[in-house]
Structure 1
Amino acid sequence: MARNRKESIGIGNRLPANLLAEQAKYTLALAREDLARLQRYGVTRETITRGEELKERIEALLEDRSVADQESKDATGGQNAASAVAKSWLRRAILIGQMAFDDDPKKVEAFVKGPKIGLSVSKLAGKMKAVLALLKPGAAKVSKFGGDAAFVKQGKELLAALEEADAAQETGRTKLPKATEDFYVAKAELYFVLKQINRAGYAVYVDDRVSAGRYNLAILHRRAPARAEARPEPQKAEVSVN
């Protein structure tokens, strides 16, 4: 899927370059080793070459102190912290909705449907708004499963904090030097190359959990082990918001 530059900048500035480069070294080596099997699922020699080029570009840009310093200055600590807490609330809210409306399959489906959130703060905020709206008309029912007024209030407060952090980060992104923008775009592109390889790896080893488990982003997310992408296998769809 084509991504515009603004979206790529937003994703790239949330990825620590040093860990991304280390992750790429591992994943690209694995892809070279398994290329004959991966090719059936769209990973080609050109895919690996492109990943290598992006990794080398990122490593070179890390040597540029002006770019590295800007990355540190533009770190999204506040936004990431807000996202982590909001995702925890959302997972719980979806489970509460599933329990409360277990006798209404369409309502249950409404709680779980929607695009994968990944690193998108806007998608996370949108999903939270949708779930809050679903919880509201069934307040009495929902409260029996942990979704009381205090829980709903917490969700609204987390949503407001998330939107505030995202707005502040967006303001900062509009003032980025072009070199830093290019750096973030390269990081985002490399991230998606690695995800493509991992998905192909899962497809190859769909019946071999040990081999499939090698295709992960654990190095990239070693500072955030609770995130879904740091696990060998994807979470079940009904509660996945990562």
Structure 2
Amino acid sequence: MKRIFITNDDGYESPGLLALKEALSPLGHVVVVAPAVEKSACGHGMSLTHPLRFIKIDDDFYKLDNGTPTDCVYLSLYSLYDNPPDLIVSGINIGSNMGEDVSYSGTAAAAMEGALHDIPSIAISQVLKDKNHFGFDFALAKDSIYKLAKKVLEGGFPLANRQFLNINIPQITKQECKGFKITELGIRMYGNDAQLHRNPRGEEYYWLGLHPLSWKEREGDETSDFSAVFDNYVSITPITLDFTARDKINTLKQWINNG
């Protein structure tokens, strides 16, 4: 039987996590370890300054007290498995992870951690117009991740080591979906939504809000994850953990040696 590990960054009670578990259970033995509380936008952070504790919720279902998504993967691989699982899936995130948002994403970070251990890994996110009022059953996301996971488990992973798949699901029905589209990360446009408030004692504090989901295309290219999703496709983006700007190595050599 194939072994599938799932986690997320929205916390162990997230409806997206429960939908993911339901979607993948027919494909093999599923183990769930998720953060005890929401860890959105925590990036690839690992806990080094406080202890971590598995708390059993159900059979093969744990929350990791004080843990990040990266902790969930890292610790579980060495505590719950004698041999690595066949597949790691992180999600279903409530909200998108497109463009440079991948660098902030705890959802993507869990897949990154799986890729670092040479395990086929997928991050999946549900794009939403309003993440506080989505009110639907993840039907397209569940159908998509089932098909993709089945393809990986039966036919192998299409990427190299230290690479993972980043999936974004449009907020539409299965009938409205045009299919899968292979994409690249788009250019995310950021603003600043740091809101200044005062607490009852008169002390100032800031609360960071959510940026509008805006982006731009690279010149002459319309294959971004943003374009695919808003054209009613499921976006599939291959992500590599090698951040080296290889096309600039010679330029940098010339710059450092100039004068």
TM-score for the superposition, normalised by structure 2: 0.22
| Higher-helix-fraction structure | 1
